[in-house]
Chains A and B, each alone.
Chain A
Amino acid sequence: MQKIRSSEITPEHVYLSRRRFMRLGTLALGSTALTACGGQLGETLAGRSAPAASAEPVAASTSAPEIKRDEFGDPANSFETISTYNNYYEFTEDKEGVARLAANFKSEPWMVTVGGLVSNPRTYDIDDLRRKFDQEERIYRLRCVEGWSMVIPWIGFPLHKLLKEVQPKAEAKYVRFESLLDPKQYPNQGPFSLYPWPYTEGLRLDEAMHDLTLMVTGLYGKPLPNSNGAPLRLAVPWKYGFKSIKAIVKIELTAEQPKTLWNTLAPNEYGFYSNVNPQRPHPRWSQATERRIGEPGRRPTLMFNGYAEQVAGLYAGMDLQVNY
Protein backbone atom coordinates (compact mmCIF):
# COMPACT_ATOMS: atom_id res chain seq x y z
CA MET A 1 0.00 0.00 0.00
CA GLN A 2 1.28 3.40 -0.90
CA LYS A 3 2.11 5.62 1.99
CA ILE A 4 0.14 8.86 2.11
CA ARG A 5 2.34 11.87 2.64
CA SER A 6 1.29 14.01 5.55
CA SER A 7 1.02 16.98 3.24
CA GLU A 8 -1.78 15.22 1.37
CA ILE A 9 -3.88 14.64 4.43
CA THR A 10 -6.58 17.22 4.82
CA PRO A 11 -6.14 18.77 8.26
CA GLU A 12 -9.05 18.31 10.61
CA HIS A 13 -10.02 21.94 10.80
CA VAL A 14 -10.11 22.18 7.00
CA TYR A 15 -12.39 19.23 6.47
CA LEU A 16 -14.54 20.28 9.38
CA SER A 17 -14.92 23.70 7.88
CA ARG A 18 -15.70 22.10 4.50
CA ARG A 19 -18.35 20.02 6.15
CA ARG A 20 -19.73 23.11 7.73
CA PHE A 21 -19.70 24.84 4.38
CA MET A 22 -21.54 21.96 2.72
CA ARG A 23 -24.06 21.91 5.51
CA LEU A 24 -24.63 25.58 4.97
CA GLY A 25 -24.89 24.93 1.25
CA THR A 26 -27.70 22.49 1.83
CA LEU A 27 -29.54 24.90 4.03
CA ALA A 28 -31.98 26.12 1.44
CA LEU A 29 -33.96 27.72 4.25
CA GLY A 30 -33.59 31.13 5.75
CA SER A 31 -29.88 31.52 5.37
CA THR A 32 -29.93 31.24 1.58
CA ALA A 33 -32.77 33.68 1.40
CA LEU A 34 -30.86 36.03 3.68
CA THR A 35 -27.73 35.63 1.59
CA ALA A 36 -29.74 36.56 -1.47
CA CYS A 37 -31.14 39.57 0.36
CA GLY A 38 -27.61 40.80 0.95
CA GLY A 39 -26.80 43.33 3.61
CA GLN A 40 -24.54 42.51 6.51
CA LEU A 41 -26.19 39.18 7.38
CA GLY A 42 -26.26 38.11 3.77
CA GLU A 43 -22.58 38.79 3.37
CA THR A 44 -21.71 37.15 6.66
CA LEU A 45 -23.59 34.01 5.63
CA ALA A 46 -21.93 34.05 2.25
CA GLY A 47 -18.59 34.10 4.07
CA ARG A 48 -17.58 37.58 3.04
CA SER A 49 -16.84 40.04 5.76
CA ALA A 50 -18.67 43.29 5.93
CA PRO A 51 -16.92 46.41 4.67
CA ALA A 52 -15.29 48.49 7.37
CA ALA A 53 -17.57 51.14 8.76
CA SER A 54 -14.96 53.85 8.37
CA ALA A 55 -12.49 53.44 5.55
CA GLU A 56 -8.79 53.12 6.31
CA PRO A 57 -6.44 55.73 4.85
CA VAL A 58 -6.34 55.40 1.05
CA ALA A 59 -2.56 55.10 1.00
CA ALA A 60 -2.67 52.01 3.20
CA SER A 61 -5.26 50.26 1.09
CA THR A 62 -3.65 50.93 -2.29
CA SER A 63 -0.07 50.06 -1.38
CA ALA A 64 -0.30 46.43 -0.27
CA PRO A 65 -3.64 44.67 -0.01
CA GLU A 66 -1.82 41.53 1.15
CA ILE A 67 -3.91 39.54 3.60
CA LYS A 68 -2.20 38.28 6.73
CA ARG A 69 -3.00 34.71 7.72
CA ASP A 70 -2.39 32.43 10.67
CA GLU A 71 -0.50 29.15 10.28
CA PHE A 72 -3.75 27.39 9.32
CA GLY A 73 -4.25 29.82 6.46
CA ASP A 74 -7.16 31.63 8.06
CA PRO A 75 -7.21 35.36 7.28
CA ALA A 76 -6.63 37.94 9.99
CA ASN A 77 -9.56 40.14 10.95
CA SER A 78 -9.34 43.75 9.86
CA PHE A 79 -7.75 46.47 12.00
CA GLU A 80 -11.18 48.06 12.15
CA THR A 81 -12.88 44.92 13.46
CA ILE A 82 -10.16 44.13 15.98
CA SER A 83 -10.09 47.64 17.40
CA THR A 84 -13.87 48.22 17.56
CA TYR A 85 -15.27 44.91 18.81
CA ASN A 86 -13.80 43.67 22.06
CA ASN A 87 -14.29 43.49 25.80
CA TYR A 88 -12.67 46.13 27.99
CA TYR A 89 -14.85 46.32 31.07
CA GLU A 90 -12.99 49.28 32.58
CA PHE A 91 -14.65 51.37 29.88
CA THR A 92 -17.95 49.57 29.35
CA GLU A 93 -19.50 46.15 29.12
CA ASP A 94 -20.61 46.97 25.59
CA LYS A 95 -18.08 45.57 23.11
CA GLU A 96 -19.07 48.14 20.52
CA GLY A 97 -18.81 51.04 22.93
CA VAL A 98 -15.20 50.54 24.00
CA ALA A 99 -13.48 52.28 21.08
CA ARG A 100 -15.43 55.52 21.46
CA LEU A 101 -14.90 55.71 25.22
CA ALA A 102 -11.21 54.84 24.82
CA ALA A 103 -10.54 57.49 22.19
CA ASN A 104 -9.06 59.99 24.66
CA PHE A 105 -7.32 57.48 26.92
CA LYS A 106 -3.90 58.75 27.98
CA SER A 107 -1.42 55.98 27.26
CA GLU A 108 1.66 58.25 27.34
CA PRO A 109 3.63 58.70 29.51
CA TRP A 110 3.35 55.18 30.88
CA MET A 111 5.45 53.39 33.47
CA VAL A 112 5.53 49.68 34.15
CA THR A 113 7.04 48.37 37.38
CA VAL A 114 8.45 44.86 37.41
CA GLY A 115 9.14 43.58 40.88
CA GLY A 116 8.29 41.08 43.58
CA LEU A 117 10.54 38.04 43.83
CA VAL A 118 13.21 39.27 41.42
CA SER A 119 16.88 40.10 41.86
CA ASN A 120 16.72 43.16 39.69
CA PRO A 121 13.43 45.05 40.16
CA ARG A 122 12.92 47.82 37.63
CA THR A 123 10.51 50.44 36.43
CA TYR A 124 10.35 50.83 32.68
CA ASP A 125 9.07 53.66 30.58
CA ILE A 126 6.93 52.24 27.78
CA ASP A 127 9.37 53.77 25.27
CA ASP A 128 12.24 51.85 26.91
CA LEU A 129 10.35 48.62 26.36
CA ARG A 130 9.68 49.46 22.73
CA ARG A 131 13.33 50.34 22.12
CA LYS A 132 15.00 47.70 24.24
CA PHE A 133 13.26 44.63 22.84
CA ASP A 134 12.91 43.81 19.15
CA GLN A 135 9.29 44.27 18.14
CA GLU A 136 8.07 41.33 16.09
CA GLU A 137 4.76 40.47 14.45
CA ARG A 138 2.90 37.41 15.74
CA ILE A 139 -0.34 36.37 14.07
CA TYR A 140 -2.34 34.80 16.90
CA ARG A 141 -5.83 33.45 17.25
CA LEU A 142 -7.80 35.03 20.08
CA ARG A 143 -10.58 32.86 21.51
CA CYS A 144 -12.95 34.73 23.80
CA VAL A 145 -14.61 32.71 26.55
CA GLU A 146 -17.91 34.06 25.18
CA GLY A 147 -17.50 31.84 22.13
CA TRP A 148 -16.23 34.20 19.46
CA SER A 149 -12.75 34.34 17.97
CA MET A 150 -10.52 36.44 15.75
CA VAL A 151 -7.13 36.20 14.06
CA ILE A 152 -4.96 39.14 15.14
CA PRO A 153 -1.53 40.30 13.90
CA TRP A 154 -0.04 41.59 17.14
CA ILE A 155 3.26 43.42 17.43
CA GLY A 156 5.34 42.86 20.54
CA PHE A 157 8.09 40.92 22.27
CA PRO A 158 8.06 37.69 24.26
CA LEU A 159 7.62 38.19 27.99
CA HIS A 160 10.59 35.90 28.77
CA LYS A 161 12.96 38.56 27.45
CA LEU A 162 11.67 41.02 30.02
CA LEU A 163 11.68 38.44 32.82
CA LYS A 164 15.27 37.51 31.99
CA GLU A 165 16.28 41.12 32.62
CA VAL A 166 14.76 41.31 36.08
CA GLN A 167 15.96 37.79 37.04
CA PRO A 168 13.23 35.91 38.90
CA LYS A 169 14.43 34.44 42.20
CA ALA A 170 14.25 30.70 42.82
CA GLU A 171 11.15 31.08 45.02
CA ALA A 172 9.21 32.81 42.24
CA LYS A 173 6.55 30.44 40.91
CA TYR A 174 3.94 32.77 39.43
CA VAL A 175 3.66 36.08 37.63
CA ARG A 176 0.97 38.54 38.63
CA PHE A 177 -0.17 41.31 36.29
CA GLU A 178 -2.08 44.42 37.22
CA SER A 179 -3.92 46.93 35.01
CA LEU A 180 -4.29 50.64 35.50
CA LEU A 181 -6.64 51.84 38.23
CA ASP A 182 -7.89 55.25 37.20
CA PRO A 183 -11.59 56.06 37.65
CA LYS A 184 -11.01 59.42 35.94
CA GLN A 185 -10.13 57.65 32.71
CA TYR A 186 -12.20 54.51 33.10
CA PRO A 187 -15.93 55.29 33.39
CA ASN A 188 -16.72 51.79 34.66
CA GLN A 189 -14.28 52.10 37.58
CA GLY A 190 -16.52 54.70 39.19
CA PRO A 191 -17.88 54.53 42.74
CA PHE A 192 -20.85 52.35 41.70
CA SER A 193 -18.81 49.75 39.88
CA LEU A 194 -19.35 46.23 41.14
CA TYR A 195 -15.98 44.90 39.97
CA PRO A 196 -12.97 44.55 42.28
CA TRP A 197 -10.68 46.84 40.28
CA PRO A 198 -7.91 46.96 39.25
CA TYR A 199 -8.04 44.10 36.77
CA THR A 200 -5.54 41.45 37.74
CA GLU A 201 -4.34 38.33 36.00
CA GLY A 202 -1.72 35.67 36.55
CA LEU A 203 0.35 32.98 34.91
CA ARG A 204 2.49 30.18 36.21
CA LEU A 205 6.14 31.09 35.72
CA ASP A 206 6.68 28.41 33.05
CA GLU A 207 3.65 29.70 31.16
CA ALA A 208 5.00 33.23 31.40
CA MET A 209 8.40 32.07 30.14
CA HIS A 210 6.88 30.27 27.13
CA ASP A 211 7.87 31.83 23.85
CA LEU A 212 4.24 32.21 22.74
CA THR A 213 3.50 34.53 25.68
CA LEU A 214 3.74 37.96 24.14
CA MET A 215 3.90 41.46 25.56
CA VAL A 216 1.92 43.40 22.98
CA THR A 217 2.72 46.98 21.97
CA GLY A 218 1.15 47.16 18.52
CA LEU A 219 -1.36 45.90 15.99
CA TYR A 220 -1.00 45.65 12.20
CA GLY A 221 2.35 47.42 12.43
CA LYS A 222 0.81 50.40 14.21
CA PRO A 223 0.89 51.35 17.89
CA LEU A 224 -1.65 49.40 19.95
CA PRO A 225 -5.08 51.11 19.79
CA ASN A 226 -6.41 52.37 23.11
CA SER A 227 -9.40 50.06 22.84
CA ASN A 228 -7.13 47.01 22.71
CA GLY A 229 -5.23 47.90 25.87
CA ALA A 230 -2.63 50.51 24.92
CA PRO A 231 0.16 50.92 25.52
CA LEU A 232 1.01 47.44 26.82
CA ARG A 233 -1.02 44.26 27.03
CA LEU A 234 -0.49 40.55 27.17
CA ALA A 235 -1.36 37.95 24.52
CA VAL A 236 -1.50 34.35 25.70
CA PRO A 237 -3.02 32.72 22.63
CA TRP A 238 -3.79 29.29 24.08
CA LYS A 239 -5.89 30.74 26.89
CA TYR A 240 -9.28 32.45 26.82
CA GLY A 241 -9.03 36.10 25.89
CA PHE A 242 -9.66 37.51 29.38
CA LYS A 243 -6.28 36.13 30.50
CA SER A 244 -4.61 38.56 28.09
CA ILE A 245 -4.72 41.54 30.44
CA LYS A 246 -4.70 45.10 29.05
CA ALA A 247 -3.06 48.39 30.04
CA ILE A 248 -0.47 46.74 32.28
CA VAL A 249 1.18 48.94 34.95
CA LYS A 250 2.64 46.28 37.23
CA ILE A 251 4.24 42.87 36.87
CA GLU A 252 5.10 40.98 40.02
CA LEU A 253 6.79 37.64 40.60
CA THR A 254 5.16 35.73 43.45
CA ALA A 255 5.49 32.43 45.29
CA GLU A 256 1.72 31.95 45.67
CA GLN A 257 -0.83 31.65 42.92
CA PRO A 258 -2.13 35.22 42.48
CA LYS A 259 -5.79 36.16 42.71
CA THR A 260 -7.30 37.15 39.37
CA LEU A 261 -10.37 39.30 38.79
CA TRP A 262 -12.63 36.83 36.98
CA ASN A 263 -11.55 33.93 39.14
CA THR A 264 -12.46 35.98 42.21
CA LEU A 265 -15.88 36.89 40.81
CA ALA A 266 -16.90 33.42 39.62
CA PRO A 267 -14.36 30.72 40.50
CA ASN A 268 -16.58 27.92 39.18
CA GLU A 269 -16.67 29.54 35.76
CA TYR A 270 -13.24 31.04 35.28
CA GLY A 271 -10.36 28.94 36.50
CA PHE A 272 -6.86 30.23 37.11
CA TYR A 273 -5.55 28.40 34.04
CA SER A 274 -8.47 29.09 31.68
CA ASN A 275 -6.79 27.24 28.85
CA VAL A 276 -8.95 26.98 25.74
CA ASN A 277 -10.47 23.53 26.15
CA PRO A 278 -13.39 22.31 24.01
CA GLN A 279 -13.87 19.40 26.40
CA ARG A 280 -14.50 21.61 29.41
CA PRO A 281 -17.99 23.08 29.01
CA HIS A 282 -18.87 26.45 30.45
CA PRO A 283 -22.37 26.95 31.87
CA ARG A 284 -23.24 29.65 29.37
CA TRP A 285 -21.14 29.57 26.27
CA SER A 286 -20.29 26.68 24.02
CA GLN A 287 -16.63 25.89 24.37
CA ALA A 288 -16.86 23.05 21.84
CA THR A 289 -17.43 25.44 18.97
CA GLU A 290 -16.80 29.09 18.25
CA ARG A 291 -17.97 31.80 15.93
CA ARG A 292 -15.03 33.21 13.98
CA ILE A 293 -15.82 36.86 13.44
CA GLY A 294 -16.46 37.44 9.74
CA GLU A 295 -17.40 33.83 9.03
CA PRO A 296 -20.80 32.15 8.73
CA GLY A 297 -21.83 29.47 11.21
CA ARG A 298 -19.50 27.91 13.75
CA ARG A 299 -16.19 26.13 13.66
CA PRO A 300 -14.89 23.56 16.13
CA THR A 301 -12.74 24.96 18.92
CA LEU A 302 -9.31 23.38 19.00
CA MET A 303 -7.57 22.16 22.14
CA PHE A 304 -5.33 24.95 23.47
CA ASN A 305 -6.80 27.08 20.66
CA GLY A 306 -4.70 25.19 18.12
CA TYR A 307 -1.42 25.63 20.03
CA ALA A 308 -1.43 22.15 21.63
CA GLU A 309 1.81 21.15 19.92
CA GLN A 310 3.65 24.03 21.59
CA VAL A 311 2.01 24.16 25.02
CA ALA A 312 0.44 20.78 25.91
CA GLY A 313 3.72 19.82 27.59
CA LEU A 314 3.21 22.53 30.21
CA TYR A 315 0.26 20.59 31.57
CA ALA A 316 1.55 17.03 31.32
CA GLY A 317 0.00 14.88 34.05
CA MET A 318 -2.50 17.55 35.08
CA ASP A 319 -6.24 16.88 35.07
CA LEU A 320 -7.50 19.74 32.94
CA GLN A 321 -11.10 19.16 34.03
CA VAL A 322 -10.04 20.00 37.58
CA ASN A 323 -7.40 22.59 36.70
CA TYR A 324 -9.58 24.48 34.23
Chain B
Amino acid sequence: MNWLRANWLRVLVHAGALAPLGVIILDNYRYNLTANPIQEITVRTGKAALVLLVLSLACTPLNTVFGFRQALQVRRALGLYGFMYAALHLAIFAVLDYGLDLQLIGQAIVEKYYVIAGFVAFLILVPLAITSTRGWMARLGKRWKSLHKLVYLAVPVAVLHFALLVKSLSSRPEPLIFGAVVIMLLALRIPVIRRASSKLRFKNAPFRPKRVPGSAD
Protein backbone atom coordinates (compact mmCIF):
# COMPACT_ATOMS: atom_id res chain seq x y z
CA MET B 1 0.00 0.00 0.00
CA ASN B 2 2.90 2.26 0.88
CA TRP B 3 4.48 1.38 -2.43
CA LEU B 4 1.36 2.45 -4.25
CA ARG B 5 1.19 5.69 -2.30
CA ALA B 6 4.75 6.50 -3.34
CA ASN B 7 4.36 5.33 -6.93
CA TRP B 8 0.77 6.03 -7.92
CA LEU B 9 1.81 8.65 -10.44
CA ARG B 10 4.26 6.28 -12.14
CA VAL B 11 1.57 3.63 -12.39
CA LEU B 12 -0.88 6.16 -13.79
CA VAL B 13 1.62 7.42 -16.36
CA HIS B 14 2.63 3.99 -17.61
CA ALA B 15 -0.96 2.82 -17.84
CA GLY B 16 -2.18 6.06 -19.40
CA ALA B 17 0.65 6.25 -21.89
CA LEU B 18 0.19 2.67 -23.08
CA ALA B 19 -3.59 2.99 -23.27
CA PRO B 20 -3.79 4.63 -26.73
CA LEU B 21 -1.68 1.82 -28.20
CA GLY B 22 -3.82 -0.76 -26.44
CA VAL B 23 -6.98 0.82 -27.81
CA ILE B 24 -5.54 0.83 -31.35
CA ILE B 25 -4.75 -2.88 -31.10
CA LEU B 26 -8.18 -3.60 -29.67
CA ASP B 27 -9.90 -1.52 -32.35
CA ASN B 28 -7.90 -3.31 -35.02
CA TYR B 29 -9.57 -6.58 -34.06
CA ARG B 30 -12.96 -4.94 -33.58
CA TYR B 31 -12.74 -3.41 -37.07
CA ASN B 32 -13.19 -0.07 -35.45
CA LEU B 33 -10.45 1.87 -37.26
CA THR B 34 -12.81 3.60 -39.75
CA ALA B 35 -12.90 2.93 -43.47
CA ASN B 36 -9.50 4.60 -43.69
CA PRO B 37 -7.51 2.70 -41.03
CA ILE B 38 -4.06 3.98 -41.98
CA GLN B 39 -5.28 7.56 -41.70
CA GLU B 40 -6.91 6.76 -38.37
CA ILE B 41 -3.83 5.24 -36.73
CA THR B 42 -1.67 8.04 -38.13
CA VAL B 43 -3.89 10.62 -36.43
CA ARG B 44 -4.18 8.66 -33.19
CA THR B 45 -0.44 8.05 -32.75
CA GLY B 46 0.32 11.67 -33.64
CA LYS B 47 -2.09 13.01 -31.04
CA ALA B 48 -0.78 10.61 -28.38
CA ALA B 49 2.77 11.76 -29.11
CA LEU B 50 1.83 15.41 -28.82
CA VAL B 51 -0.16 15.01 -25.60
CA LEU B 52 2.62 13.03 -23.91
CA LEU B 53 5.32 15.47 -25.00
CA VAL B 54 3.30 18.40 -23.68
CA LEU B 55 2.76 16.54 -20.39
CA SER B 56 6.51 15.93 -20.14
CA LEU B 57 7.00 19.68 -20.48
CA ALA B 58 4.52 20.23 -17.66
CA CYS B 59 6.51 18.24 -15.08
CA THR B 60 9.14 20.86 -14.29
CA PRO B 61 6.70 23.76 -13.77
CA LEU B 62 4.48 21.47 -11.70
CA ASN B 63 7.44 21.15 -9.34
CA THR B 64 8.88 24.66 -9.45
CA VAL B 65 5.61 26.54 -9.41
CA PHE B 66 3.17 24.21 -7.68
CA GLY B 67 5.57 22.23 -5.53
CA PHE B 68 4.36 18.92 -6.97
CA ARG B 69 7.68 17.08 -6.73
CA GLN B 70 6.38 13.70 -7.79
CA ALA B 71 5.93 15.05 -11.29
CA LEU B 72 9.69 14.87 -11.77
CA GLN B 73 9.60 11.09 -11.30
CA VAL B 74 7.59 10.65 -14.48
CA ARG B 75 9.12 13.30 -16.72
CA ARG B 76 11.48 10.94 -18.51
CA ALA B 77 8.82 8.26 -18.95
CA LEU B 78 6.41 10.79 -20.46
CA GLY B 79 9.06 12.06 -22.85
CA LEU B 80 10.06 8.56 -23.93
CA TYR B 81 6.47 7.46 -24.44
CA GLY B 82 5.94 10.62 -26.48
CA PHE B 83 8.94 9.68 -28.57
CA MET B 84 7.63 6.13 -28.96
CA TYR B 85 4.35 7.40 -30.42
CA ALA B 86 6.21 9.89 -32.63
CA ALA B 87 8.35 7.01 -33.95
CA LEU B 88 5.23 4.89 -34.56
CA HIS B 89 3.58 7.85 -36.27
CA LEU B 90 6.55 8.30 -38.61
CA ALA B 91 6.80 4.55 -39.25
CA ILE B 92 3.12 4.39 -40.21
CA PHE B 93 3.60 7.33 -42.57
CA ALA B 94 6.74 5.94 -44.19
CA VAL B 95 6.05 2.20 -44.22
CA LEU B 96 2.31 1.57 -44.17
CA ASP B 97 1.20 4.70 -46.01
CA TYR B 98 4.01 5.41 -48.47
CA GLY B 99 5.29 1.82 -48.71
CA LEU B 100 8.85 3.07 -48.14
CA ASP B 101 8.77 4.67 -51.58
CA LEU B 102 11.67 7.04 -50.97
CA GLN B 103 10.90 9.11 -54.04
CA LEU B 104 7.33 9.80 -52.88
CA ILE B 105 8.43 10.39 -49.29
CA GLY B 106 11.17 12.76 -50.44
CA GLN B 107 8.64 14.63 -52.57
CA ALA B 108 6.25 14.88 -49.63
CA ILE B 109 8.99 16.19 -47.33
CA VAL B 110 10.05 18.87 -49.80
CA GLU B 111 6.52 19.81 -50.83
CA LYS B 112 4.57 19.94 -47.60
CA TYR B 113 5.48 22.25 -44.78
CA TYR B 114 3.71 20.04 -42.29
CA VAL B 115 5.82 17.03 -43.25
CA ILE B 116 9.01 19.09 -42.90
CA ALA B 117 7.92 20.32 -39.47
CA GLY B 118 7.01 16.83 -38.29
CA PHE B 119 10.25 15.39 -39.59
CA VAL B 120 12.33 18.13 -37.95
CA ALA B 121 10.54 17.65 -34.62
CA PHE B 122 11.26 13.93 -34.79
CA LEU B 123 14.92 14.40 -35.70
CA ILE B 124 15.39 16.68 -32.69
CA LEU B 125 13.81 14.09 -30.41
CA VAL B 126 16.08 11.24 -31.54
CA PRO B 127 19.26 12.30 -29.69
CA LEU B 128 17.18 13.19 -26.64
CA ALA B 129 15.66 9.73 -26.54
CA ILE B 130 19.05 8.08 -27.02
CA THR B 131 20.68 10.10 -24.24
CA SER B 132 17.83 9.65 -21.79
CA THR B 133 19.60 6.93 -19.80
CA ARG B 134 21.50 7.47 -16.55
CA GLY B 135 24.69 6.36 -18.31
CA TRP B 136 24.41 9.10 -20.92
CA MET B 137 23.45 11.62 -18.27
CA ALA B 138 26.68 10.85 -16.41
CA ARG B 139 28.75 10.81 -19.57
CA LEU B 140 27.47 14.16 -20.81
CA GLY B 141 27.53 15.88 -17.42
CA LYS B 142 26.59 19.53 -17.74
CA ARG B 143 26.11 19.27 -21.47
CA TRP B 144 23.22 16.83 -20.93
CA LYS B 145 21.06 19.61 -19.59
CA SER B 146 21.79 21.94 -22.48
CA LEU B 147 21.20 19.14 -24.97
CA HIS B 148 17.85 18.31 -23.45
CA LYS B 149 16.75 21.91 -23.65
CA LEU B 150 16.23 21.09 -27.33
CA VAL B 151 12.86 19.72 -26.28
CA TYR B 152 11.76 23.37 -25.95
CA LEU B 153 12.24 23.54 -29.70
CA ALA B 154 10.94 20.08 -30.62
CA VAL B 155 7.53 20.44 -29.00
CA PRO B 156 6.64 23.82 -30.54
CA VAL B 157 7.73 22.46 -33.94
CA ALA B 158 5.48 19.43 -33.36
CA VAL B 159 2.58 21.78 -32.57
CA LEU B 160 3.38 23.71 -35.73
CA HIS B 161 3.26 20.39 -37.62
CA PHE B 162 -0.26 19.86 -36.28
CA ALA B 163 -1.35 23.44 -37.01
CA LEU B 164 -0.17 23.19 -40.62
CA LEU B 165 -2.27 20.16 -41.41
CA VAL B 166 -5.60 21.28 -40.01
CA LYS B 167 -8.09 22.26 -42.69
CA SER B 168 -8.92 25.65 -41.26
CA LEU B 169 -7.49 26.88 -37.97
CA SER B 170 -10.39 29.20 -37.27
CA SER B 171 -12.85 26.33 -37.28
CA ARG B 172 -10.52 23.73 -35.73
CA PRO B 173 -8.75 25.42 -32.85
CA GLU B 174 -7.15 22.29 -31.35
CA PRO B 175 -3.58 23.16 -32.46
CA LEU B 176 -4.06 26.67 -31.07
CA ILE B 177 -4.99 25.19 -27.70
CA PHE B 178 -1.88 22.98 -27.76
CA GLY B 179 0.13 26.04 -28.78
CA ALA B 180 -1.22 28.15 -25.90
CA VAL B 181 -0.47 25.42 -23.35
CA VAL B 182 3.07 24.97 -24.67
CA ILE B 183 3.72 28.72 -24.59
CA MET B 184 2.48 28.84 -21.02
CA LEU B 185 4.66 25.88 -19.99
CA LEU B 186 7.70 27.43 -21.60
CA ALA B 187 6.99 30.85 -20.11
CA LEU B 188 6.88 29.32 -16.62
CA ARG B 189 10.55 28.43 -17.11
CA ILE B 190 11.63 32.04 -17.59
CA PRO B 191 13.22 32.93 -14.20
CA VAL B 192 11.22 36.15 -13.67
CA ILE B 193 7.90 34.51 -14.43
CA ARG B 194 8.80 31.38 -12.51
CA ARG B 195 9.69 33.33 -9.38
CA ALA B 196 6.63 35.55 -9.62
CA SER B 197 4.26 32.61 -10.07
CA SER B 198 5.81 30.50 -7.32
CA LYS B 199 5.64 33.47 -4.96
CA LEU B 200 1.96 33.68 -5.71
CA ARG B 201 1.68 30.01 -4.87
CA PHE B 202 3.82 30.05 -1.74
CA LYS B 203 2.06 32.91 -0.11
CA ASN B 204 -0.30 30.28 1.24
CA ALA B 205 2.11 27.39 1.62
CA PRO B 206 5.23 27.88 3.74
CA PHE B 207 7.48 25.23 2.20
CA ARG B 208 9.67 25.74 -0.83
CA PRO B 209 10.28 23.16 -3.55
CA LYS B 210 13.60 21.40 -3.58
CA ARG B 211 15.61 21.69 -6.74
CA VAL B 212 16.32 18.24 -8.09
CA PRO B 213 19.72 17.77 -9.71
CA GLY B 214 19.53 17.27 -13.45
CA SER B 215 16.20 18.95 -13.87
CA ALA B 216 16.13 21.17 -16.89
CA ASP B 217 14.21 24.25 -15.97
Contact = CB atoms under 8 A, between A and B. Distances in A.
Interface string B160-203: 00001101101110000000000000000000000000000000
Interface stretch (A115-123, A175-183, A290-298): A290-298
A23 B101 CA distance: 8
Contacts of A148: 36, 39
A100 to B, nearest CB: 13
A54 to B, nearest CB: 11
A244 B175 CA distance: 29
Contacts of A193: 171
Given A194-B170, A266-B168, 11 more contacts: A20-B99, A27-B95, A37-B28, A39-B28, A39-B29, A40-B28, A40-B29, A93-B167, A283-B164, A296-B96, A297-B96
Interface in B21-69: 25, 27-29, 31-39, 41
Contacts of B114: 283-284
Contacts of A93: 167, 171-172
Nearest to B96: A31
Contacts of B91: 30
B35 A288 contact: no
Contacts of B165: 284
A192 B37 CA distance: 31
A42 to B, nearest CB: 8
Nearest to B173: A194
Interface residues of A, number: 44
Given A283-B112, A288-B104, A84 B35 contact: yes
B33 A41 contact: yes
B96 A45 contact: yes
Interface in B86-132: 91, 95-101, 104, 107-108, 111-114
A220 interface: no
The list of the 7 closest CB pairs from A to B, nearest first, reads A85-B35, A39-B28, A194-B171, A297-B99, A39-B29, A81-B35, A40-B31
Contact of B35 (A30, A31, A283, A293): A293
A24 B164 contact: no
A267 B29 CA distance: 41
Contacts of A27: 95, 99-100
A80 B101 CA distance: 31
Nearest to A80: B35
Contact of B31 (A31, A50, A85, A297): A50
A95 interface: yes
Contacts of B168: 194, 265-266
A96 interface: yes
A29 interface: yes
A51 interface: yes
A53 B31 contact: yes
Given A281-B111, A286-B108, A297-B97, A291 B39 contact: yes
B35 A298 contact: no
